[in-house]
Amino acid sequence: MKIAVLPGDGIGIEVTAQAVKVLKAVAGREAELTEGLIGGAAVDAEGVPLPPATLELAKNSEAILFGAAGRAGDELGPRDKRPGGGLLRLRRELQLYANFRPAFLFPELIGASSLRPELVEGLDLLVLRELNGDLYYGEPRGISIGPDGRRHGVNTMRYSEPEIERIAHVAFKAARGRKKKVCSVDKANVLETMVLWRETVAAVGKEYPDVELRHLYVDAASMELLRAPRQFDVIVTGNLFGDILSDAAAMLTGSIGMLPSASIGEGNKGLYEPVHGSAPDIAGKDIANPIAAILSVAMLLRHSFGRNEDAARIEGAVRKVLAQGYRTADILQPGMNKVGTVAMGDAVLTALG
Ligand code: IPM
Ligand code: MG
């Protein structure tokens, strides 16, 4: 198993170290791990957030385990030196267009959710975010001086039919393995790009008569996510709305520190990362929750290598440490055993048996 390990910045470094520990314990010598630079660390060392060597490494690997990219004040620097840009280029260069962000509630964490227990009990939904298009990559873009002598900012929301079709197929197929419900989220009441989105998803939906399809505008969808989140199974949406809704969905489960994600394309190759970011404010303090990164390893083993048993073993170990009362600060509740990043990683290792 050729795996690139890209810890990146901030807590990405700490949580990836715990994830690697778990990966090594499960896969042993079969895992051939190679570390690479990305994000702010790469900007410091090489002047760019995605050095050519890292792109090569990622291209030659079967899977990529990613930590986080970004540092405080990033938005102030030039665009080609922004740490997050390394991740964005990687997603696009490798054509990883389907981003799976499952949000499920561990029963042990029901009291840690920001919603009342009766609203989130049994919550299990999937935000499927398109990852290669939309305002993130659309041209023209930039800040320029307008005819009035003042600065104007432009970004372009852009989607083609083929781009929408391929993510829609992924959504309907994913729903078939779940509760057979797809909710497509757009803003078709205002934006032409989103009219195309809605029409195209509906057309693809005809090929999946066994899957229920409905459409929601993004404002209504965010309201429903907070009002009655269990109505959702698969939420399929564009890059920007998916970025926002997946953070919101994550909080329903207790902490964004719990949730893994997978970004995949046509083959088995995938990039696996915690949904959370680099959290510069808590970096280097041994308090970050490594569970999202550890569960990303489970997704990696399942999607890229078909090692379902190993994945289930890791997920089972996480369940066990939660049942044993181990909690990092973000999911701490009265009477629980507060641990740091490394100790949580160790607890999962022990629970693997
Ligand atoms: C995410 C992050 C990234 C994004 C940033 C770091 C570029 O927020 O993966 O959700 O906006 O896609
Ligand atoms: Mg985000």
Ligand 1 proximity of 243 Cβ (cutoff 6 Å): yes
What are 7's two structure tokens? 């810890």
Residues of the chain with confidence (pLDDT) below 50: none
What is the distance in A from the centroid of ligand 1 to the CA of 311?
Answer: 25
Q: What angle, rounded to 10 degrees, do the helices at 161-176 and 192-205 form?
A: 40
Cα–Cα distance, 255 to 249 (Å, whole number): 10
Ligand 1 proximity of 70 Cβ (cutoff 6 Å): yes
Q: Does domain 106-254 have CATH number 3.40.50.2300?
A: no
User: Is-contact 206 176, C-beta < 8 A?
Assistant: no
Annotated catalytic residue 124: no
What are 117's two structure tokens? 């227990």
Residue nearest atom 6 in ligand 1 by C-alpha distance: 84
Instruction: For residue 104, give the H/E element and its range.
Output: strand 98-104
Residue 113, pLDDT score:
87
Given the residues 247, 286, 320, 346, the one annotated as active site: 247
Residue 353, pLDDT score:
84
- Closest among 13, 16, 4, 89 to 50, alpha carbons compared: 89
Annotated catalytic residue 219: yes
1-97+265-353: which CATH topology? Isopropylmalate Dehydrogenase (3.40.718)
Ligand 1 proximity of 88 Cβ (cutoff 6 Å): yes
Residue 39, pLDDT score:
94
- The percent helix, strand, coil of the chain (3-state, each to 5) is 50, 20, 30
User: Is-contact 201 173, C-beta < 8 A?
Assistant: no
Q: Where are the domains of the chain?
A: 1-97+265-353, 106-254
DSSP 331: G
Ligand 1 pocket test: pick from 6, 9, 87 the residue with the most ligand atoms within 8 Å of its Cβ.
Answer: 87
Same fold yes or no, 1-97+265-353 and 106-254: yes
Q: Rounded to two decimals, what is the model's pTM?
A: 0.94
What are 94's two structure tokens? 């490798």
Instruction: For residue 158, give the H/E element and its range.
Output: none
